[in-house]
Structure 1
Amino acid sequence: MANPDASRRLLPLLSTPHKGGRSALTCQFRCGNACSHDVGNTTANAYFGDVVKEALSRRGVLRAGALGAVVVGAGVAGAVPALADEPKAAARGGHGGGGDLRFTPVPPNTDDKLSIPDGYRSSVVVRWGDPVLSDAPAFDFDNQTADAQNKQFGYNCDFVTLFPMGRDRGLLWVNHEYTDESLMFRGYTGGADATEEQIQIALAAHGGSVVEVERERGTGEWKLVTHGRRRYNRRITAQTPMKFTGPAAGSDLLKTDADRQGLKPVGMLNNCAGGTTPWGTVLTAEENIDQYFVNGDKVPEAQRPYITRYTITTGTPEDSRRFDRVEERFDLAKHPQEANRFGWIVEIDPFDPDSTPVKRTALGRFKHEAANTTLSRDGHLVVYMGDDAQFEYIYKFVSKERYVRGFDRHNRDLLDEGTLYVAKFTGDSPKGQIDGSGKLPSDRMFDGSGEWIPLVSGDKSYVKGMTAEEVLVYTRVAADKVGATKMDRPEDMERNPVTGGVYVALTNNTNRTKAQVDEANPRTGNKHGHVLEIVERKNDAAAKTFAWSIPLVCGDPKDPATYFAGFDKTKVSPISCPDNVTFDRDGNLWISTDGNQLGSHDGLFVMPVRGKDRGHLRQFLTVPTGAETCGPLVAEDQLSVFVAVQHPGEVDGASPENPASRWPDGDQPRPAVAVVWHEKGKKIGS
C-alpha cells in the first residue's frame, strides 16, 4: 500500500559510499549495512599468523546425511564411508572419481533473466504474493494488505528444501529472509514515514512458507499445487507464536514484560540458510536480527557490551524499518531483553501445520548461517553452523544422546542437550609464506589442523566467568573468551555425502589487513571469498580435532591470487563471493554466490572435489539483474535443481516507478523459487 502523501526522497544510506559488490539497497535492507559499521569482533584473539610457530612445534599432533531418507537431497544420515584415519590425507582429496559433468558452462553475463545451459529448461515454482493458504487473495501490487500477506508467499527467499510425499508430490519449505520496502511499495521513503499497514505487511512478509508442490510426470519440472485442500500449506511470520526449549529456556536473559517466564518468543526474523533433521523437520537460521531494533544504546549499562557485540542498532535511525511503531517490543529502551529472543535456530515441522515452532537454545545465539546435520560414527546428531559476519566463528553441536531411527519421540529432544563447540584453526606453513597476496606456500596448499573447543554442555559452562545460560545467549562473547579463530564471514556449511568432508563458504572480508592474514584466510581485502574443507579425525563428525584445506580461492582465474584445487585455470569459470553450498548424490559441490565483484550477475556453480576433475569449476546458471542466488537444492534423483532468486531488481536508484529488473513476469520484480531441468529428462549436469 503506497503512501501517496510522502514526498519522494532517497533514504540517507543510499547516497553514501559502499564497500563490497552489493547495491546500497541490499546492504541496507538485508543486513543493516553491516560492512560499513565497526567490526563487531574487537577481541584480541590470535590470528593464524600469530600461532604458526606454536603450530610448527607440535605439527605431529594432530548435509551430508543430515537430510535422511525423508528429504529430497544428497544422501542419508550417517551414510558416509570411512576414509583414511589420518585427516590430512583426506583433506587433500583424491578418494575416487568425481561425478560426470558434461554441460557447457553458462558464460558470465548481465542479462535480466535466469540464464541456463543449452538443453535445459526452467520455470518459476512460487513467487512473492502467490497464494499459500486456500483463502488467500490473488496478489495485487498496488493494493497490498497485511491480512493478504499473512496468507501469501513472503518476500525474499533463501534456504529451500523439499520433503517428498511420494514420487511426484512434496512439501517445499522456503525461508523469507528480509523485506525491501523501497521495492515493495510505491513512494517508500523510510520506516519513519511508512504507514502502519506497510510495516505490518513487512512483518508478515518475513519468516517462511510451506507449500505443496507436484512434479510434471516424466520431467524435472515442479509446480505449485493450486487445487484441492493443500492441508499442509502454512505461513510463519515475525508474529507467529513460538517456544524456547533447551538449557536457556526460562532464563532471566529471555524474560520480558509480555513473557515473564521466558518461554514464549514471538516470531522469527532474517531467516537465511538452514538445514533439516533425520526425522523430517526444518532447521531455519535467524541471521541479521540486529537491524530490527532501535535504542540499543538505552538498555541497562550492564547489558550494553553485549548489545555492542551483537551490533544492535543505536538510536532510531531514519533508514530503519521502525517496527517499533507498531510493536513496542522492538524498542529496546522499553524492552531491553527482546533482542535476546532472536538469533536462534528454529525447528519447524512441515507436516503439522498446527505445530508450534521451537527455538533451540542449546545451539547458541549468533548471526546463524546454516544448520546442516549429520550423524557421528556412533549415532550422535551433529549440527554445523556459521556466524555470518566479518571475523566471526564456525560452530558445531553434538547431541548427548544418540539418534534412534523411527523413535520420533526420543529424537525430537536431541537438539535440547549436547555440547556446543567453536573452531580454532592452525596453519602449517611458515609465517613469511602467507603474505596476503594469495600466493601458495611451499607445500602448494593452504592447509593445517584444528580443534573444536567446547563452550557449554547442558548446564555446564566451559567458559570462565560465564554461566551456561550466558554462553548460550551471548555465544559470540563466549567464543571470544576461548580464543576461537576469526574467519572471513562463515556462511553455509555442509557435509559431503560421499567423502565426509565438511565444506564452508567464506563469502568475503574486505576489512582483513596484511597483519591479519593467515593460512585459512590468505588474502588481504578478501573481496571474492573462498571455500574451506574440514575433514574430521577418522572421518567422525563427533571428533574434536580435524584437518583443513582450501580447495577454492575465488576470483578471476587469470588472477594469480586464485586457486582451483590445482586444476587448469584456463578451463574454469570465474566465481566471486560463495554463499550457499550443497551436494548432489555423486558428491559434487554446488556453490551459489552473493555479491559477485567480477562485473557479472550472481550464479550457481558446480565443482568436483575428488578425482581428476577436482577443482574443475563450471557455471551452471546466472540470476537476473540485482538478484543473488540462494538455495540451492539438487533433487535426490538429480532430475531437478531448485534455486531461490532473492531480491531481483535490488539496484541503486531502482523503485516501483523505475524497476531495474522485470523478472519473472515482465512487470515488478518478485523474489521467487525457480526450478531447472534437462529437456530430455537427463540427470542435472550430464
Structure 2
Amino acid sequence: MKKQNRRSFLQFLGRTGIGLGAGAFLVNLQACTPTEKPQNPETKPSDPRPFPLQDMQHSLEDKLVLTNGLEYDILIKWDDPISEKDKFGFNNDYLAFVPFDKNTPNDGMLWVNHEYFQEIFISGYNDKDKSKKTKELVDIEMYSVGGSLVRIRKNDAGKWEVVHNDPHNKRLTAKTEIPFHWDEPIEGSTSAIGTFANCSGGVTPWGTILTCEENYDMFYGETNRSDPKNPFRDLDGDYYGWSQHYDYPPEHYGWVVEVNPLTGEAKKLVALGRCAHECATVHQTKDGRLVVYSGDDSNDECLYKFISKEPENLKEGTLYVANTTKGEWVSLNYNEQKILQDNFANQTEVLIRLREAAKLVGGTPLNRPEDIEIDPITGHVLVALTNNKPKGDYLGEILKIVETDLEDKTSLTFEASTFLAGGEDTGFACPDNMAFDPKGNLWFTSDISGSSVNTGPYLPFGNNGLFMVPSWGEQKGKVIQVASAPTDAEFTGPFFAPDGETLFLSVQHPGERSKDLENLTSHWPEGGSAQPKPSVVCISGPALSDLMKGAS
C-alpha cells in the first residue's frame, strides 16, 4: 500500500465522509473505545438468570485450562509466517483488534506487541557471558521483538484465522527506523532505530495503536546522572549485550509509540514522557481533546496523565503525575514549575528524565503501576498495582481513581482508593493487564513471576490466571477465575472482538525457566517433547455468548 498522508488516513478511518473507492474500509471505533457514558452502578438493571461463568480451581498443569462453557483456538504462534518475508515475533503481549469496517466487524487488523525473548529459544545462546554473543545472534534477537500487524477474519465455520500473505501484514522490529514526534532532536537525532520491550498499549479514537516501551534498559542500558556533571552509560542493566554491536543511546527508548495499522508507519510520542511505560489508555473529552493515562511499571514509580491541547494531537499538551496522597495531578510543565527549571535545561530534558522530574514535583511512588482501564459503567479509572516485594506487598491490588470531573477526566483532583486487593479471600495475586467486555464486566490477568509460582505467599494461587468481575447477576462484584495458564506462562493483552463473543489473549513465555532445550519446563501448545511457543489464542464458547446476552 502506498504511503498515506494525514488527510487520506482520516478518510480511511471514515472521519471525513469521503470514501477511498472499492478497496476502502472504515475502522469500527466502537470496538476500540468504550461508548457507554458513566452512570451510577446502582441504576444498572438486574438480570434474574444465573451468571454463565463459574469460578474454577487453581491449576499447576502445563495446559491452558478453562472454566466450563469456554474453549480456545490457537490463532498464531511464534515463528509462524505472516508473509513471504516476515514471521510472527516472540513473547506476544498487548493485543488490539481494529476492524476494517463497522458494518463487517469480523475482518480487520490485529496488532501484537513482542516484548522480549529468551535466548535459548530465539538464537540458541546459553552463556551468561554476553561478550561472546556475535552480531549475527544479536540480529536474530532484534528481529524477534517489536510488533506484528496481522490481518485476521472469521471464516465460514465461525473461527478466527490469519489471512496469510495479506499486503497489510508486516513487522516492526528493533531495527525499524522510527521518527520522534517532537520539534527538538532526542540525544542528537530526530529518529530512533527500533522499538522493543513493548508491553501493553492502547487505541486512539482515530484507530491508531499505541504501543509502550517498558523495560528498555535491558537492551542498551541507561544513562547514569548521579553526578550531573559527568553522566555516563550504565550497562549494568544491559542484560542482552546488544550495546557491544550497536551503539544506540538509551534515551531513544522508553517511549509510547503510535502505529498506523494500515501502513505500519510509526512515531515516538515524546510528549507522553519516557519511563517503563506499561500502557497508554486513551479517553476523549466532549470537546475532542485527549486524556492519556500511563503507568511506570517499576517498584516505587508513578502514574501519569497527559491532557492534549487540541483534538487528535498527542504532541501538544500537559503531562501530569499523580500525587495519590493529596489526590492531585501535578503539572510537569517546565514553565510552570520552578523546581524543574532549577534542575533541567528545558521541557525536552524533563520528558527524557521523567522519573526524576516526577519525584521532584511530588509524584507518589506506587507499587508497579501496570495496566489502566476506564470502567464504561462508572467512569472510574482502574490501575493495576502488581506488587512491590521490597516493601512487603507481594499480592498487589487494583487501585480506583475517581476523577472530580468524572466524564471529561480533565480535572486536576481525584480520590484514590482500593478497588480490589489481592489475597486468598479474593482468589488472585499480582493483577496486571485488564479489559472491559461490551457488557461492562472487568477481566484481568495475573503476573506472578515464574520463579515465584507455587512458593511462599503464592502457594494458594497456582499458575497465573485470567479472572473476571461481573457487573451484573448473582456474582456481581466477586472475582471469578476463568482460565489458568500453562507452566511458567502468564496471560497478557486481553482484547475483545466487537461482539464480545471472542476474547483475544496472549499466552506469554511458557517454559521461561527452561535451562536448556533438553530440560524444558513446558511443551505448550504442541505437547509431547515440543519446544514451548508463545501464542495468541481466541477464547469463545457458549458461556461467553450467554454473557453477552446479560444485563446491559
User: TM-score range with shorter-chain normalisation?
Assistant: 0.7 to 0.9
Question: Which residue of structure 2 aligns with residue 670 of structure 1?
Answer: 533
The whole-number CA distance in structure 1 between the counterparts of 2:485 and 2:31 is 23
| Equivalent position SS for 2:148 | strand
The whole-number CA distance in structure 1 between the counterparts of 2:144 and 2:230 is 30
Does structure 1 retain, via aligned residues, the 8 Å contact 2:114–2:144? yes
Does structure 2 retain, via aligned residues, the 8 Å contact 1:420–1:455? yes
User: What aligned pairs does 1:99-138 form with structure 2 within 5 A after superposition?
Assistant: 101-133=51-83, 135-136=84-85
Q: Is structure 2 residue 330 aligned with structure 1 residue 453?
A: yes
**C-alpha distance 315-640 of structure 1, shift in aligned 2 (>3 A):** closer
More displaced 10-residue stretch of structure 1: 460-469 or 658-667? 460-469
Render the CA deviation track for 1:289-319: whole Å, top value 9, x for unaligned: 112125856x895376797xxxx53397xxx
Q: Is structure 2 residue 408 aligned with structure 1 residue 555?
A: no
Question: Which residue of structure 1 aligns with residue 172 of structure 2?
Answer: 236
The whole-number CA distance in structure 2 between the counterparts of 1:681 and 1:546 is 35
The code of the aligned residue for 2:403 comes to: E
Using the TM superposition, give the Cα deviation of residue 182 of structure 1 relative to its aligned residue in structure 2, in angstroms. 2.6
Q: Is structure 2 residue 112 aligned with structure 1 residue 201?
A: no
TM-score normalized by the length of structure 1: 0.69
**C-alpha distance 306-381 of structure 1, shift in aligned 2 (>3 A):** farther
Q: Of Structure 1 and Structure 2, which has the larger fraction of its residues in strand? A: 2
**C-alpha distance 606-82 of structure 1, shift in aligned 2 (>3 A):** closer
2:243 aligns with one of 321, 324, 330? 324
Question: Which residue of structure 2 aligns with residue 173 of structure 1?
Answer: 111
Render the CA deviation track for 1:339-384: whole Å, top value 9, x for unaligned: 111100000001124x2x1001110111101101011243321100
Does structure 2 retain, via aligned residues, the 8 Å contact 1:646–1:672? yes
Question: Which residue of structure 2 aligns with residue 373 of structure 1?
Answer: 282
1:633 aligns with one of 485, 491, 495? 495
Question: Which residue of structure 2 aligns with residue 254 of structure 1?
Answer: 187
**C-alpha distance 468-612 of structure 1, shift in aligned 2 (>3 A):** farther
| Equivalent position SS for 1:658 | coil
**C-alpha distance 351-461 of structure 1, shift in aligned 2 (>3 A):** farther
Question: Which residue of structure 2 aligns with residue 72 of structure 1?
Answer: 31
The code of the aligned residue for 1:664 comes to: P
Using the TM superposition, give the Cα deviation of residue 71 of structure 1 relative to its aligned residue in structure 2, in angstroms. 5.8
Using the TM superposition, give the Cα deviation of residue 174 of structure 1 relative to its aligned residue in structure 2, in angstroms. 0.3
Q: Is structure 2 residue 98 aligned with structure 1 residue 163?
A: yes
| Structure 2 residues not aligned, in runs of 5+ | 1-26
Using the TM superposition, give the Cα deviation of residue 683 of structure 1 relative to its aligned residue in structure 2, in angstroms. 4.2
Does structure 2 retain, via aligned residues, the 8 Å contact 1:294–1:314? yes
| Structure 1 residues not aligned, in runs of 5+ | 1-67, 84-92, 137-150, 256-261, 330-337, 403-410, 427-448, 513-524, 558-563, 565-573
Question: Which residue of structure 1 aligns with residue 299 of structure 2?
Answer: 390
Question: Which residue of structure 1 aligns with residue 194 of structure 2?
Answer: 267
Using the TM superposition, give the Cα deviation of residue 585 of structure 1 relative to its aligned residue in structure 2, in angstroms. 1.6
User: What aligned pairs does 1:138-537 form with structure 2 within 5 A after superposition?
Assistant: 151-165=86-100, 166-186=104-124, 188-190=126-128, 191-217=130-156, 219=158, 221-226=159-164, 229-246=165-182, 249-251=183-185, 253-255=186-188, 262-294=189-221, 302=228, 312-314=234-236, 320-329=239-248, 338-353=249-264, 355=265, 357-402=266-311, 411=312, 414-426=313-325, 450-456=327-333, 463-465=340-342, 466=344, 467-512=346-391, 525-537=392-404
Question: Which residue of structure 1 aligns with residue 485 of structure 2?
Answer: 623
**C-alpha distance 501-324 of structure 1, shift in aligned 2 (>3 A):** same
The code of the aligned residue for 2:209 comes to: V
**C-alpha distance 315-106 of structure 1, shift in aligned 2 (>3 A):** closer
State the Cα RMSD in Å: 2.5
Does structure 2 retain, via aligned residues, the 8 Å contact 1:159–1:174? yes
Does structure 1 retain, via aligned residues, the 8 Å contact 2:73–2:537? yes
**C-alpha distance 552-681 of structure 1, shift in aligned 2 (>3 A):** closer
The whole-number CA distance in structure 2 between the counterparts of 1:170 and 1:266 is 28
The whole-number CA distance in structure 1 between the counterparts of 2:509 and 2:124 is 16
The whole-number CA distance in structure 2 between the counterparts of 1:461 and 1:263 is 27
The whole-number CA distance in structure 2 between the counterparts of 1:479 and 1:273 is 21
Q: Is structure 2 residue 429 aligned with structure 1 residue 601?
A: no
Does structure 2 retain, via aligned residues, the 8 Å contact 1:460–1:468? no
The whole-number CA distance in structure 2 between the counterparts of 1:295 and 1:590 is 35
Does structure 2 retain, via aligned residues, the 8 Å contact 1:377–1:541? no
The whole-number CA distance in structure 2 between the counterparts of 1:74 and 1:98 is 24
**C-alpha distance 306-544 of structure 1, shift in aligned 2 (>3 A):** farther
| Equivalent position SS for 2:207 | coil
The code of the aligned residue for 1:120 comes to: L
Instruction: Report how many residues are paired.
Output: 502
The whole-number CA distance in structure 2 between the counterparts of 1:303 and 1:234 is 43
**C-alpha distance 680-343 of structure 1, shift in aligned 2 (>3 A):** closer
The code of the aligned residue for 2:489 comes to: A
**C-alpha distance 376-70 of structure 1, shift in aligned 2 (>3 A):** closer
Does structure 2 retain, via aligned residues, the 8 Å contact 1:98–1:587? no
The whole-number CA distance in structure 2 between the counterparts of 1:223 and 1:654 is 33
Does structure 1 retain, via aligned residues, the 8 Å contact 2:381–2:400? yes
**C-alpha distance 682-609 of structure 1, shift in aligned 2 (>3 A):** closer
| Equivalent position SS for 1:636 | coil
The whole-number CA distance in structure 2 between the counterparts of 1:313 and 1:641 is 40
Using the TM superposition, give the Cα deviation of residue 195 of structure 1 relative to its aligned residue in structure 2, in angstroms. 3.4
Does structure 2 retain, via aligned residues, the 8 Å contact 1:200–1:326? no
| Equivalent position SS for 1:159 | strand
The whole-number CA distance in structure 1 between the counterparts of 2:293 and 2:373 is 7
Render the CA deviation track for 1:306-336: whole Å, top value 9, x for unaligned: 97xxxx53397xxx3111233233xxxxxxx
| Equivalent position SS for 1:168 | strand
Using the TM superposition, give the Cα deviation of residue 680 of structure 1 relative to its aligned residue in structure 2, in angstroms. 8.0
More displaced 10-residue stretch of structure 1: 669-678 or 285-294? 285-294
Q: Is structure 2 residue 545 aligned with structure 1 residue 682?
A: yes
Does structure 2 retain, via aligned residues, the 8 Å contact 1:640–1:684? no
Does structure 2 retain, via aligned residues, the 8 Å contact 1:74–1:634? no
2:434 aligns with one of 571, 581, 591? 581
